[in-house]
A and B are shown apart, each in its own frame.
Chain A
Amino acid sequence: PPAHSQSDWIGPPDRLSNLRPIIFHVPPEESALERRLREARQEAQASNQRFWARHNRAFRQEKEEFIYSRLKAKGLEMRDESGQKATLNAEEMAEFYKDFLNKNLKKHLQYNRDWYKHNFRITFLMGQVAVVRALRWLRRRKKNVEQ
């Protein structure tokens, strides 16, 4: 994003976490409240990124391992004659999906709690910042009118 920009910029989805990173603009006269908001958003972004990157990577790895072990058990190679990657059909994969979901349920419950907390806090701070900004704008207008 350009250096002179006054707003935040959001980028394409991250390869690992599928989340879109945001680059936050730090205005020179940032108030304490605005700083708290920005830091909360940065913290949430970092925490989400960590969780999903790790989670998706684990999913991919475990899926590969599962496919590999199943193919091995069936006596097949990872790639067949034409070089195409061998896959299992949907029903066989279903067993993996079920296991993966059950294994990660607790992790998800914890993440859900964290995410909801982050989300509410950020939105509440946004509300506060918006109210403060609106009051400031009104005050400035009143001053302009009086002058």
Chain B
Amino acid sequence: MSAARRCRPPRALAGLFVWRLRNTGVQQVPYRFVQLYHIANDRLITFQYFNFLKRMYVTQYNKDLSQRAKPKSDSVVSPFHELQQSDQVKKVLYKISPVSPVHQSQSEISSRNELREIKSETEDSVIPVGAESKEDRQWKEMKLRLDDLPGILARLSKIKLTALVVSTASAGFAMAPVPFELTCFLLASLGTGLASCAANSINQFFEVPFDSNMNRTKNRPLVRGQISPLLAVCFAASCGVPGIALLTLGVNPLTGALGAFNIFLYTCCYTPLKRMSIANTWVGAVVGAIPPIMGWTAATGSLDAGALLLGGILYSWQFPHFNALSWGLREDYSRGGYCMMSVTHPGLCRRVALRHCLALIGLSAVAPVLDITTWTFPVISLPINLYISYLGLRFYRDANRSSSRKLFFCSLWHLPMLLLVMFTCKKSVLEKEDKGDLQGRSCERAMEIRLP
């Protein structure tokens, strides 16, 4: 059984400021993340009672499933962890193991027999009876009920992850050096959110048998048969098409193109690549980096160096976040057939995480050079960047569960803090009013033409 780990999901409120409140009980915190991380946080408490013939394992799962889905286009390259269930599922496992086989194995001379005994015990005698998940063990009718539909669709689209993606995109919008326009902002956020829903749905559509085999994801709507694949695809189309159209027509074509590209990258590149090569991590990081770029282009209408810097920061952030996370999921990845660095190239995994922690320091220092923030930003952000780099170094050196967890949890608060500090250190728009006016008009113009 995997070690217990408690993940405290932050809850993000949409808006300019991303506040993440840590609640230990909060179930799902979707992180939109370029890489899909399956993190099963279980707390496993096993008690063994020896009754004459029964061994009872009481396991308590605090399932924090964090899933980092890559947000389609909007997601900022921040890893989004989708914490799916923080249900506490008490499973009572009855293992009927008579005492005699144990004696038998001990007295057995042949080692093969011993092995076989143990094998048979593990394979045959564990009969899980879910105390709370009794309902789960029943046969369910595959009929769609309309009042269940909103909940099902929310889970299908990974609504919390989408919310985080939208908030990272709005961070990109906020950082753009133009006067703030509410309508543009709302349209961009809505379009991004719809695009994210579509991408997440398609991702779930592709991954049904794999999801059913991993603890974190086995309660998804398609896995449970609550919705048909056809409906999932239709829903994805009905979110994606209006979303991209909204971005293209209501904001500007560049944002729409980025959105469509991100959906494509996530569903057609990242998702299949996860099972083919470790390169999926880098593709995923790009998927996460694009949403803030989209937010920026929504505001300014052009791809500036500032947008790329913001994307770069999120890109770099993804690596310590995901690599630390995946360190604890190696068993699930190995069995599920996912090619992740933590399984196949553990040394590279830790090196890359450390490298990108340090890159964050460098990128923060570049921000004032590009006139995005004042020089105070690298100074103020230095402590948190140094801290995450220190944890990255510890992870690199120690390569154990505790250092990976520390790094992961640090990354959870590091990103919102960094974005917040960046926003507060943003260079005042008034200084660049003339330039800003010109660029700000691009969004308005697009709207004027389309909306009569």
Chain A hits for B334, CB < 8 A? 59, 96-98, 100-101
Chain A hits for B328, CB < 8 A? 90
Binds A, one of B140-148, B161-169, B284-292, B385-393: B140-148
Contact of B123 among A13, A60, A83 (CB under 8 A): A60
Distance, CA A83 to CA B99, complexed state (A): 11
Chain B hits for A109, CB < 8 A? 275-276
Give chain B's interface residue range (CB within 8 Å of chain A): 35 or more
Interface size on A, residues (CB 8 A): 56
Chain B hits for A72, CB < 8 A? 111
Query: Which one of B3, B138, B330, B400 has the greatest number of beta carbons of chain A within 10 Å?
Result: B330
Distance of A137 from chain B, by nearest CB (Å): 16
Contact of A61 with B139 in the complex, beta carbons under 8 Å: no
Contact of B115 with A68 in the complex, beta carbons under 8 Å: yes
Nearest residue, chain A, Cβ from B226 = A10
Contact of B225 among A20, A102, A108 (CB under 8 A): A20
Distance, CA A10 to CA B272, complexed state (A): 27
Chain B hits for A102, CB < 8 A? 344
Contact of A97 with B333 in the complex, beta carbons under 8 Å: yes
Contact of B344 with A115 in the complex, beta carbons under 8 Å: no
Distance, CA A90 to CA B346, complexed state (A): 12
Chain A hits for B114, CB < 8 A? 78
Contact of B330 with A97 in the complex, beta carbons under 8 Å: yes
Chain B hits for A119, CB < 8 A? 205-206, 208, 229
Binds A, one of B335-343, B375-383, B428-436: B335-343
Distance, CA A135 to CA B90, complexed state (A): 48
Contact of B123 with A20 in the complex, beta carbons under 8 Å: no
Q: Which of chain B's residues 200-232 have a Cβ closer than 8 Å to chain A?
A: 205-206, 208-209, 212-213, 218, 223-225, 228-230
Distance, CA A82 to CA B206, complexed state (A): 46
Distance, CA A18 to CA B333, complexed state (A): 15
Contact of A1 with B139 in the complex, beta carbons under 8 Å: yes
Contact with A along B111-139 (1 / 0, CB 8 A): 10011001100110000000000001111
Contact of A56 with B137 in the complex, beta carbons under 8 Å: no
Distance, CA A84 to CA B208, complexed state (A): 36
Distance of B72 from chain A, by nearest CB (Å): 20
Chain A hits for B137, CB < 8 A? 12
Contact of B213 with A64 in the complex, beta carbons under 8 Å: no
Contact of A83 among B102, B118, B213, B330 (CB under 8 A): B102
Question: Mostly helix, strand, loop or mixed at chain A's interface?
Answer: helix
Contact with A along B392-419 (1 / 0, CB 8 A): 0000000111000000000000000000
Contact with B along A40-58 (1 / 0, CB 8 A): 0000000010001001110
Chain A hits for B141, CB < 8 A? 1, 5, 7-9
Q: Is B96 an interface residue (CB 8 A)?
A: no
Chain B hits for A39, CB < 8 A? none
- Given known A-B contacts A22-B225, A83-B102, A116 and B142 have beta carbons under 8 A apart: no
Q: Is B331 an interface residue (CB 8 A)?
A: yes
Distance of A117 from chain B, by nearest CB (Å): 12
Q: Is B269 an interface residue (CB 8 A)?
A: no
Binds B, one of A26-34, A122-130, A139-147: A122-130
Chain A hits for B230, CB < 8 A? 123, 126-127, 130
Q: Is B48 an interface residue (CB 8 A)?
A: yes
Contact of B142 among A22, A90, A91 (CB under 8 A): A22
Q: Is B241 an interface residue (CB 8 A)?
A: no
Contact of A97 with B212 in the complex, beta carbons under 8 Å: no
Chain B hits for A60, CB < 8 A? 122-123
Q: Is B153 an interface residue (CB 8 A)?
A: no
Nearest residue, chain B, Cβ from A2 = B141
Distance of A65 from chain B, by nearest CB (Å): 7
Distance, CA A71 to CA B223, complexed state (A): 37
Q: Report, nearest first, the 4 A-B pairs whose CB atoms are least far apart.
A: A97-B334, A10-B225, A108-B337, A126-B230
